[in-house]
Chains A and B, each alone.
Chain A
């Protein structure tokens, strides 16, 4: 049994570890899924963040450009109102145009004396300016130094096929000193006559391009302008720039103002490349703002983030383990308890069964002993009685001696009667008692019992009343039914009072027959009523009444064997009445035997 409990315990432990593993698997799966989606989400978020940043930078750029345009539009309106500019343009004095404009444009232009720092501080200052005539041809600046020096071929690229009707943006890559390598943003503004609304000329201004804002610097962003198939990105080797420029030149098909995005390997590192045309719808050659976001730092960041996520996942996993341990423990506790309880239950049951078997055996043995003992006792009593009767038959006995012998003989009868009762009880206790059930004429048995009662010496002067029909049959065995009647009648006689009454009634009631035996006398105290059917119980009132307290017990057990019962119907005010219930039988029908 101990081994069984131990195996049970090990099974409970197994259950607990299985539960733990299951919870761990679930937690790990959730963590892994969380990691996967977090990583994917992270990548997508980073890409869209970059794009948004690029768009933000471009928007800021365009905003700055618009402010500049607005200022320039105003300037051109003012210019054209100036009589000298008008005079220069309309009165055939183009050589006077630049000197006349010099004054007007003074505050837009970089002063030759500006330090580089001052130049950098003011992106609104133009590096050079030129005029185009109404046909779009360049009006040479001549010797006007304020217009800014430009090599002739670069100057030539400013001319257009006609004076533009609205502002145009272009980009010019300088190949020669003083701006070699730099890119200028060119804004061509029409000069519109205030008199006639005609475009009479155009002003072309060259600016240093706006640089993308500082927010990008944190990500190591590089930017540059692609124009004329060339790209110049600060901090990028010429070879890489050329390769990227070629890639963009190859790739820039599609709608002019669409924003494009691609991944490129530049100088061995992965970059996210965004580019967008800076001058959609311009008559100048197309130019693109190109932004390079190195993914290395980003990947580093991503890796860091991933580690953080993994760390969080591991913590979560650990937490999950601890939690699952507790959960598994709490879940398996009741199971374990249940298992242990059932084990204990089984042990208890086995013990109880063993005890029952034991007591059953003991009972059998004691019943057998009781039966044997009764048999062994009957013989000496019979021998004793025979001897006493022989002595009583002698003639030389004095009356005194006769009386004593009669009393002794009477005692032997009582003794054998007691032995009979014990024998009967022990047979019933052993469960071997079996009635031969047959219809019994209760009326006849009652009459016989009353006859016997009459024979007994009547010191109490009792009256007997009877009320029962003739030939009332019950199911039973005649000798045992008679014992019930004898015991009840004897009881009614013994506990009666002088001049008292015994009333016997019997009647059929449905399938039953009710027999009641009542007698006058002191009632049974309520406290004693529960015990009157116990073996060897004798009431306080029966202290001076002969008997062994077996009668009612025997009668009740026999009544049960008859398929009925015996109960105390009432006991009050000088009247005690017992009631027996038998099963009605129709004479001479044969009832089936009933086993006890």
Chain B
């Protein structure tokens, strides 16, 4: 399970949409695998609405989702793209949003009601105040410290979302089965991490060789 850990070897990790935008040199390296996500319920999930739940001080989504990301030292890259966390039908979409440090996230209100997005989380504290869908410019925050940020709406107590601020450009959210595939990764030695909930992050040291496709399963 513990792979050789060589921090400074380039490893290529592809991340969904952003994979193609990775470093200019060979971006063929890929990590794929499956994160074992414990399901609370054995019943098949019918709707795809995800919620953030806190139990015993542990935050996670329900149904569970995991974020797989590659940690290490990467060459400086372009500033990350602007992300969006929308409010629609009195829920946040998406429920779990991983972003790279320095990402600006916009919070468009697509509901007719007011929302008041705020966060008390240490990595980013902010309070957007009350606004409606016609608010211009769209309220946004730049997340410049890594960590887990819990988003809440002061008006709608049930609304909750998580923004996982990561110090890496290579990350992705697994599908409902925990499957992931990171492409366009640089070669080298890295640590591959799988965030399952606020208290649980699995990690594996990996070495990405040129053109390799690595299969990593998290228990």
A contact residues vs B (CB 8 Å cutoff): 81-84, 86-88, 90-93, 96, 134, 193-196, 198
Closest CB in chain B relative to A75 CB, distance in Å: 16
Does B152 contact A195, Cβ atoms closer than 8 Å?
no
- Mark out the residues of chain B between 134 and 166 whose CB falls within 8 Å of any chain A CB in the assembled complex: 150, 152-154, 156-157, 159
Closest CB in chain A relative to B184 CB, distance in Å: 34
Q: Which of B120, B153, B156, B159 contacts A91 (CB 8 A)?
A: B120
- Residue B53 interfacial (CB < 8 Å): yes
Q: Which of A81, A87, A134, A198 contacts B118 (CB 8 A)?
A: A87
* Cβ–Cβ < 8 Å partners of A83 in chain B: 118, 152-154, 156-157, 159
- Residue B41 interfacial (CB < 8 Å): no
A84 to B156, CA, bound (A): 11
A194 to B157, CA, bound (A): 10
Convert B58-80 into 0s and 1s, putting 1 for each residue whose CB lies closer than 8 angstroms to a CB of A.
01000000000000000000000
- Residue B201 interfacial (CB < 8 Å): no
A90 to B57, CA, bound (A): 6
Convert B152-194 into 0s and 1s, putting 1 for each residue whose CB lies closer than 8 angstroms to a CB of A.
1110110100000000000000000000000000000000000
* Cβ–Cβ < 8 Å partners of B55 in chain A: 196, 198
Closest CB in chain A relative to B121 CB, distance in Å: 5
Does B54 contact A93, Cβ atoms closer than 8 Å?
no
- Residue B56 interfacial (CB < 8 Å): yes
A83 to B127, CA, bound (A): 12
* Cβ–Cβ < 8 Å partners of A193 in chain B: 54
Does A86 contact B53, Cβ atoms closer than 8 Å?
no
Closest CB in chain B relative to A416 CB, distance in Å: 165
Closest to A83 in B: B152
Does B120 contact A88, Cβ atoms closer than 8 Å?
yes
List 7 A-B pairs, Cβ < 8 Å.
Answer: A84-B120, A86-B157, A90-B57, A92-B121, A93-B121, A195-B53, A195-B54
Closest CB in chain B relative to A559 CB, distance in Å: 146
Instruction: Knowing A195-B54, A198-B55, say if A84 contacts B122 (CB, 8 Å).
Output: no
- Residue B125 interfacial (CB < 8 Å): yes
Does B56 contact A198, Cβ atoms closer than 8 Å?
yes
- Residue B133 interfacial (CB < 8 Å): no
Does B157 contact A90, Cβ atoms closer than 8 Å?
no
Instruction: Knowing A81-B157, A82-B157, A93-B125, say if A87 contacts B119 (CB, 8 Å).
Output: yes
* Cβ–Cβ < 8 Å partners of A86 in chain B: 152, 157
Q: Which of A93, A134, A196 contacts B120 (CB 8 A)?
A: A93
Instruction: Knowing A195-B53, A198-B55, say if A91 contacts B119 (CB, 8 Å).
Output: yes
A167 to B118, CA, bound (A): 31
New A-B contacts (6) at CB < 8 Å, excluding given A83-B157, A87-B119, A91-B150 = A83-B152, A83-B154, A84-B118, A88-B120, A91-B120, A92-B122
Instruction: Knowing A81-B157, A82-B157, A196-B55, say if A87 contacts B122 (CB, 8 Å).
Output: no
Q: Which of B120, B154, B159 contacts A96 (CB 8 A)?
A: B120
